């Protein structure tokens, strides 16, 4: 993989709640603060490739990564076309992250068959490798990563992609992922954080941010592999303190930096920091406060 995304980036879905003009301003500020990469998701909001183009065009150094683009949303040739268009237009600044998403977003919402997501991912990546692209190509292969949690998908990340982008995980999972993938592939886990030293307030914000994921079987299966049980999310709106503290790093800047370091120590090449808030505002103040402790890592 030729693109260098640095050691720490910002992951956020909060930009979808604000006009594109505000998103461009936020991207410019992230760039000025020294963050290397901005990760944007795909669910039911903005189209991630178009949005990446908007933000890449507004900045000069910041990298954009999709975390993740849903492989059921477009065929392999379309994805290759989008990837290579952006990589050629913005050399070294776009990283494609792909994933199988979740049954409720694929089968229930998009009406696609979600019976064999692992096989579908393997076939999809192979088809991407054979896809035609008749326009001017990027000078170098921009590479790709895939959302991977379990060992089988992590193996695919190592053999058919340039690495993995695990989400809703812990440093312990990062260590396991590195062991499964080996030393070469990129490993870029996401880490939720709350910049608040009050345990009650911090965990309240953390729980609100976790709720949607505690109804998704892919994440629950991974939590079970990590040693958690159904009791930890018996009430998905009120998960146990032990699960909250494992998934969401909260506290002061040093506490957040320590969790990021734990991922790096466990084998991560890059950590995608997602700041949670108790409202719909962009966490720009938190990005500013965290930058001195994170961007030099």
Q: Is the pLDDT of residue 1 over 70?
A: no
| Euclidean distance between CA atoms 21 and 26, whole angstroms | 9
| Euclidean distance between CA atoms 24 and 224, whole angstroms | 39
| Residues in the chain, overall count | 297
Percentage, residues of the chain above pLDDT 70: 99
Residues 6+ apart with CB under 8 A from 144: 83, 95, 96, 97, 98, 125, 128, 161, 162
Q: Is the pLDDT of residue 2 over 90?
A: no
SS3 107: helix
Q: For residue 108, give the DSSP letter.
A: I
Assess contact for 270 and 5: CB atoms under 8 A. Answer: yes
pLDDT in tens, 123-167: 999 999 999 999 999 999 999 999 999 999 999 999 999 999 999
Q: Which domains does the chain have, with CATH numbers?
A: 8-294 (3.20.20.30)
β-bridge pairing 94-99 and 69-70: parallel
| pLDDT in the model for residue 109 | 87
Q: For residue 279, give the DSSP letter.
A: S
pLDDT in tens, 52-103: 999 999 999 999 999 999 999 999 999 999 999 999 999 999 999 999 999 8
Nearest to 50 by CA among 28, 69, 25: 69
């Amino acid at each position: 993989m030729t693109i260098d995304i640095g050691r720490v980036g910002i992951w956020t879905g909060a930009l979808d709640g604000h006009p594109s003009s505000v998103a461009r301003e936020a991207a410019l500020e992230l760039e000025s603060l020294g963050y290397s990469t901005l990760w944007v998701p795909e669910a039911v909001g903005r189209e991630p490739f178009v949005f990446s183009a908007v933000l890449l065009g507004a900045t000069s150094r910041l990298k954009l990564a999709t975390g993740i683009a849903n492989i059921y949303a477009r065929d392999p040739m379309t994805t290759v076309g989008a990837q290579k268009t952006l990589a050629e237009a913005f050399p070294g600044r776009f990283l494609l992250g792909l994933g199988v998403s979740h049954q409720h977003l694929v089968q229930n919402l998009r009406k696609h068959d979600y019976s064999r997501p692992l096989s579908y991912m393997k076939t999809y990546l192979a088809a991407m490798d054979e896809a035609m692209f008749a326009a001017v190509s990027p000078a170098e292969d921009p590479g790709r990563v895939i959302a991977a949690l379990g060992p089988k998908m992590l193996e695919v990340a190592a053999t058919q992609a340039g690495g993995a982008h695990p989400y809703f995980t812990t440093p312990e999972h990062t260590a396991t992922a590195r062991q499964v993938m080996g030393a070469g592939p990129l490993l870029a886990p996401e880490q939720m954080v709350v910049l608040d030293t009050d345990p009650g307030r911090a965990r309240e914000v953390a729980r609100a941010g976790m709720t949607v994921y505690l109804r998704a079987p892919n994440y629950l299966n991974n939590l079970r592999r990590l040693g958690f049980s159904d009791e930890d999310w018996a009430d998905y709106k009120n998960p146990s303190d032990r699960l909250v503290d494992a998934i969401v790093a909260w506290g002061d800047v040093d506490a957040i930096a320590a969790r990021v370091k734990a991922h790096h120590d466990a084998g991560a090449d890059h950590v995608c920091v997602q700041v949670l808030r108790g409202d719909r505002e962009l966490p720009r103040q938190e990005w500013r406060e965290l930058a001195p402790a994170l961007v030099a890592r």
